[in-house]
């Protein structure tokens, strides 16, 4: 008789990610790079002229999106950093955790410069 494995809730998956319990590959490539890139595309596409042309409802939606976007990015940075900290390389293997942390730091510096530009 096969034993069914209970699937985790979305909330538990997010908690596990925040705590760095997700594998470095999944947290870096999927949560940080893929989803983070998709969520930041509007930041590069929307122009000041477009934002100035928004009405009240559009402006509320725009602000709400960016609050959600930056909230997600904070979770993505922290969760991926913690996954990188928990990563244990095998003998004679590159420390991918350190490489991921360097990338995160460089990405964060770029994001701060872009924000204040």
Domain boundaries, the chain: 16-116
Instruction: Give the per-residue pLDDT at 93.
Output: 73
98: CB partners within 8 A, 6+ apart: 84
Give the pLDDT confidence of 13-49 residue by residue, as tens digits: 899 999 999 999 999 999 999 999 999 898 888 877 8
Position 92 pLDDT exceeds 80: no
3-state secondary structure 2-61: CCCCCCCCHHHHHHHHHCCCCCHHHHHHHHHHHHHHHHHHHHHHCCHHHHHCCCHHHHHH
- List, for residues 1-18, the tens digit of each pLDDT value: 555 666 778 899 899 999
Query: How do residues 70-79 score in pLDDT, each as one tens digit?
Result: 999 999 999 9
């Amino acid at each position: 008789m096969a034993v069914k494995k209970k699937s985790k809730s979305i909330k538990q998956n997010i908690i596990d990610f925040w705590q760095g319990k997700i594998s470095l590959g999944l947290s870096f490539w999927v949560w940080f790079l893929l989803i983070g890139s998709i969520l930041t595309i509007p930041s590069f596409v929307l122009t000041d002229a477009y934002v100035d042309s928004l009405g009240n409802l559009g402006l509320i939606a725009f602000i709400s999106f960016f609050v959600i976007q930056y909230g997600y990015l904070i979770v993505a940075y922290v969760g991926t950093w913690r996954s990188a900290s928990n990563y244990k390389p095998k003998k004679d293997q590159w420390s991918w955790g350190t490489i991921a942390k360097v990338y995160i730091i460089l990405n964060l510096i770029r994001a701060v410069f872009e924000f204040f530009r």
